[in-house]
Amino acid sequence: MKQLPENMIYPENALILAPLSGYTDVAYRRAARRCGCRFCFTEMVDCSSLVYASDRSALMLRRDDDEDFLGVQLVGAIPEHLAIAAEKLNDRDFSLLDLNLGCPVPKVWNKGAGAALGRNPELALRCFEALAEKSRFPLTAKLRIVHAQDPAPTVDLVTKLVERGARAITIHGRTREMFYTGEVNFEIIRAVREAVPGTPVIANGGIVSPETAREMREKTGCSRLMLAQGAMGNPWLFGRIDGTGDDPGLEAWKALVRSHICDMISLYGEESAMRCARKIVHDYLKGRGFPSCLRAQASALAALKDLDDLLDIAKPAVSRSPSGRSIIDPAD
């Protein structure tokens, strides 16, 4: 059993890869670990897929033998379904179980789950209690701020989750209406941290560089950070933030992209993997000065040879990136 040491969920200054639906499978996490990320999650799992024994959920829950930490996150708004899902997860090996109270996408919101559940505190607490009754794993929760100006609703929900056994709380500092853009509310994240001083609070939202990570830590008082959009196509961000690594040269960039996609092929077979790989390669190309023709080429990937052809001609076309990511040196 690969469990965390007693009473420890995340150490100080931990950097955590968020559970990203459609992304953080085994292959994605391997790429992140190659760049220094230890704390990862499976993709977000709909509890109904476990209740009704979806074949896809089994692959989503796969864990590598060398993953010393792996969290699993459930999304759902029916306590009975969450309880059944928790019991089924007990047969597997995870470091913790997280309840999603923050996903903003319409297909989740419209079911009353994710961020919608975060705005229904009575039901949210019932759902958390259902997990607590059935799960053998440490329980955590991830949510968005409930109100853009008033910290009270967010603080109240977090306090009650901690009272019911939440061992850590992750706060995305934007409301559901903001999705993934706009200013992060550092003050509400700080208010949450101060309200539960004995519980790790992980800050999330808008972390795309060492500078934004430093700002998040300074303005919220949270040493632990969760990376999501900023790490998509940019797993080197973990090393840049903690000082153990830097942006890659061109050959290192190519090697990681290819190993990531080859791992996907091993998981899903070439045809299925390459369809999924299109969005992954787009992310790797984004903001690094590559010409637009490569993005068009990535949209048509159908075989590993197509990826190799793209990598063979991949060279940055500009000397400065508006995204803030370092430009890869074409002479590397």
User: HSE (CB half, 13 Å, CA atoms) of 96?
Assistant: 25
pLDDT for 316 equals 80
Residue 184 corresponds to which amino acid? V
Rounded Cα–Cα distance for residues 316 and 160 (Å): 50
Rounded Cα–Cα distance for residues 100 and 141 (Å): 6
Give exposure, 7-44, as e/b (b: 16+ Cβ within 10 Å): eebbeeebbbbbbbbebbbbbbbbbbbbbbbbbbbbbb
pLDDT for 320 equals 46
What parts of the chain have a pLDDT lower than 70?
Answer: 1-7, 54-56, 317-332
Q: Which residues are catalytic?
A: 103
pLDDT for 327 equals 58
Say if CB 206 and CB 185 are below 8 A apart: no
Rounded Cα–Cα distance for residues 31 and 73 (Å): 20
Q: Which residue has the tokens 């999924």?
A: 276
pLDDT for 68 equals 94
The model's pTM is: 0.93
pLDDT digits over 38-58, tens only? 999 999 999 998 988 766 678
pLDDT for 318 equals 54
Work out the angle between the directed axes of helices 270-285 and 250-268 (0-180°, nearest 10).
Answer: 150
Tokens representing 145 are 């701020």
pLDDT for 2 equals 47
